[in-house]
A and B are shown apart, each in its own frame.
Chain A
Amino acid sequence: MLEFQNVTFRYPEDKEPILENLSFQVKDGDFASIIGSSGCGKSTIFRLINGLEKPQQGQILVNGEPIEKQRRYTAFMPQKDLLFPWCTIEKNLTLPMELQKIPKEEQKKQCTAVLEQIGMTEYRNKYPRELSGGMKQRVAFARTLLAGGSLLLLDEPFSALDFLTRVEMQEWILEQWSYWNKTILFITHDVEEAIFLSNIIFTIQECPFSTMKAVNVPLQYPRNREDLRKSDITQLKETLIRQLRKKEML
């Protein structure tokens, strides 16, 4: 379980903290989404979990232990695929394992397993430029899996994709989440995407924020798009939009 306990963080160039006494929890196996408008600090939460930034106050715990003591607990997938254009798909995938000094045989084995699971075995020796946007995101997700963390931090991974690819990728990511049995923390601007993917949604309603409102999504997995038309779901969508609008009006 990931737990933020009264975390306060301020960027050195800012006068005010972007997060103030923030507390929330993500349980193991959750698919949790964070929604909120731009500049509110959603990505800052990821930077803190990743260790790229350190909170000025409070602590981030993993199963009751400070996150700094955890080895390879998280893996991060940014908005852009950030595949290295000079590396083949296989090289891109094995990169995190190489950096962790995992033996070559093991790297190859894990890479093969992931490529099979994402249905891209034949692209092993291709370069990123030879792949479509959706394929690149699949490879980026696979690389995140191979980075070895049990908590995957996905920062608007589908925002740059066209509508149809995005829909396809949403369904695909749910399959992958269920197959690999990971915990996912997902940042998005899209309320419908958050509802379709998550079992719990955190909304940011103020800036700087100290609380995130947690809303459970009353849908079972596996899901399909028809579920989004259910009356309680459309109602949930409206509620979330209202909450987000309230923030904008503040």
Chain B
Amino acid sequence: MKKQIPAMVVALSILAVWQFIAMGMDAAYILPSPIQIVQKIWECKKVLLTVHLPATAVITGIGLLISVVLGLALAILMDSNAMIERGLYPVIIASQTIPTTAIAPLFVLWFGYSIWSKVLVTVLITFFPVVIAVFDGFKATKREMEELLLTYGATKRDIFIRLKIPTALPAFFSAIKMAIPLSLIGAAIGEWLGAQEGLGYYSKRMMTQLDGAGVFAPVVILSLLAMVSVMCISFIENKVINWRREL
């Protein structure tokens, strides 16, 4: 708990400054105060938490799952063969130069207002850190350890399972922690561009009504969701890889 004090002090200071400025401006449609945002969340808690949050969570979950599977598959493929690495790596990098907000309307054209247009936006944003971090994790395998296993008669498969996977685990967890906020951003962008429910959709709707607190309320929920998810992953990470410093 003591470790969290500096972060809490910084957060509270920012909120206090924000509250002070918002009260000074007195224009909630432009800059609502933190108290107004909390009040809005409380007023709309039912619709936000039972309708829009689950909708966004489903898109985020599916998008994240696909991104992790795709990212892992690409990382394994690139690690298995240098030719594949040389072929795929530039394409993966190029995929991140595409402006997502520009291409996302195309996804709406392709998949309509179903969740898949939003999932695709999420995947496009999220798979990149997974593939790059896990691939780098595989590359971090110590050559001496690999050679030691070879002297024991290990096959390529043995080396992958017994050495490369454990070595890449810290990178994998870091990738997941990066991917969670990105997948939420992806889902929200997708919902902004075309949806009938979801926190992104709610935020956009509130903007058209010039309800500043209503725009911020789903953003706060998205942030809280990301923080809680990352904390859960960190907890699992600490349980699973308590040997990180030894690498």
Residues of A within 8 A of B (CB): 50-52, 72, 74-76, 78, 80, 82, 84-86, 95-96, 99-100, 127-129, 147
Contacts and interface: CB of A to CB of B under 8 A. Distances in A.
A123 to B, nearest CB: 16
B166 A52 contact: no
B245 interface: yes
Nearest to B163: A84
A51 B149 contact: no
Main secondary structure on B side of the interface with A: helix
Interface stretch (B49-57, B77-85, B151-159): B151-159
B152 A147 contact: yes
B247 interface: yes
A80 B144 contact: yes
17 contacts: A50-B150, A52-B147, A52-B150, A72-B153, A76-B148, A82-B144, A82-B148, A84-B145, A84-B163, A84-B166, A85-B246, A96-B152, A96-B153, A99-B153, A99-B154, A100-B153, A127-B242
Contacts of A128: 243, 246
Q: Closest 9 interchain pairs by CB?
A: A85-B246, A85-B243, A96-B152, A86-B166, A76-B151, A99-B152, A50-B151, A99-B154, A86-B243
Nearest to A96: B152
Contacts of B145: 82, 84
Contacts, number: 50
B241 interface: yes
A96 B151 CA distance: 9
A78 B152 contact: no
Interface of B: 142, 144-145, 147-154, 158, 162-163, 166, 169, 241-243, 245-247
A147 B243 contact: no
A85 B247 CA distance: 7
Contacts of A72: 153
Contacts of B166: 84, 86
Contacts of A76: 148, 151
Contacts of A95: 152, 162
B148 A78 contact: yes
A3 to B, nearest CB: 20
A52 B144 CA distance: 11
Given A78-B144, A80-B144, A82-B144, A147 B151 contact: yes
A189 B65 CA distance: 53
Contacts of A50: 147, 150-151
A193 to B, nearest CB: 22
Most buried by A among B151, B169, B242, B246: B151
A85 B246 CA distance: 6
A72 to B, nearest CB: 7
Nearest to B166: A86
A72 B144 CA distance: 19
Contacts of A84: 145, 162-163, 166
Contact of A74 (B151, B242, B246): B151
Contact of A129 (B151, B153, B245): B245
A99 B151 contact: no
A61 to B, nearest CB: 19
B149 A99 contact: yes
B246 to A, nearest CB: 3
A78 B143 CA distance: 12
Given A80-B144, A85-B247, A86-B169, 12 more contacts: A50-B147, A50-B151, A74-B151, A75-B151, A84-B162, A84-B166, A85-B246, A86-B241, A99-B149, A99-B153, A99-B154, A128-B243
A176 B154 CA distance: 26
